[in-house]
Amino acid sequence: MHEVLAVVLQVRAGELQVLLWRRGIEPEAGRWALPGGRLGASEDVQTSVLRQLAEKVDVREVAHVEQLEVFSAPDRMPGARTVATAFLGLVPCVADPEVPGDTAWHPVSGVLHGDPATAFDHGPIVRGARNRLRAKLSYTNLGFALAPPEFTVSGLRELYAAALGHRVSATNLQRVLARRGVLVATGGTAAPGPSGGRPAAVYRFAERDMRVTDPFAVLRPPDPRQTVGEQLQPADRAPSS
């Protein structure tokens, strides 16, 4: 038996949260589980996870999906042996999808400390998803999947701080992402807050597909034409991990 599981993450109330549903029946009744389900006969795993997610949230609100890892310990679940392919899904913070009654958002930091208790091996899966998100926020333009279409630098700073779990300098964020060509100024400005202050410039992400922005400078080809063997293929541009 093969199942797919989705770790859907969103920054809500200044905190990184994960979508879980409360199991009503045994085994593990009362514990919280990741959305997902059985892989269908005529779909691949990515199609399957998007289909199953549609039962929990509006799929159009999921801005990015990628494969995480296979969990296959024989005893990871009671009953028939089940292999799980885990996915990471990201929802922009402006979306507020309607969720079924048994489903709710929970802060990731709490879940990783057992609050609330998770079913089966779903806790480690959430940890892996959070680690992947943190890493990719640093060397890709993945922020687009957490941010609204347009935003201010300080708004984006709060998103990054929540997702990364540490302070982020707005000055640096602006400069680093601008130099990499990730951020583009729209020209507009946002209304200042109630206590005044200079109006913030409005930005958007240049692209809304994931792209590696930090080409691991260490061992970069010294000259584009000095590569040996075959040339770089388009598929090589964004390694899945």
Partner DNA sequence: TGAGTTTTCGCCTTACAATCGAAAACGTGA
Partner DNA sequence: TCACGTTTTCGATTGTAAGGCGAAAACTCA
**Which stretches of the chain bind DNA, using CB under 7 A?**
152-154, 169-172, 174-176, 179-180, 189, 192-201, 214, 217-220, 222-223
Q: What is the 3-state secondary structure (H, E, C) of 50-75?
A: HHHHCCCCCHHHCCEEEEEEEECCCC
The angle at the Cα of 115, spanning 77 to 159, to the nearest 5 degrees, equals: 110
234 binds, among a copy of itself, DNA, none (CB under 5 to 8 A by kind): none
Task: Please tell me the number of Cα atoms within 13 Å of 61 on its side-chain side.
Answer: 18
The verdict on 219 binding a copy of itself (CB under 8 A) reads: yes
Burial of 1 (0-12, 13-18, 19+ CB in 10 A): exposed
Residues 137-176 contacting a copy of itself, CB under 8 A:
137-139, 160-161, 164-169, 173, 176
Q: How far is the CB of 223 from DNA (least distance, A)?
A: 7
Query: Measured between alpha carbons, how far is 210 from 224 in angstroms, rounded to an integer?
Result: 23
Q: State the amino acid at position 187 in one-letter form.
A: G
Residues found near a copy of itself in the complex (CB under 8 A) = 2, 39, 41-45, 67, 69-70, 72-74, 81, 83, 85, 108-109, 112-113, 124, 127-128, 131-132, 135, 137-139, 160-161, 164-169, 173, 176, 214, 216, 218-219, 221-222, 226-230, 233, 235-236, 239-241
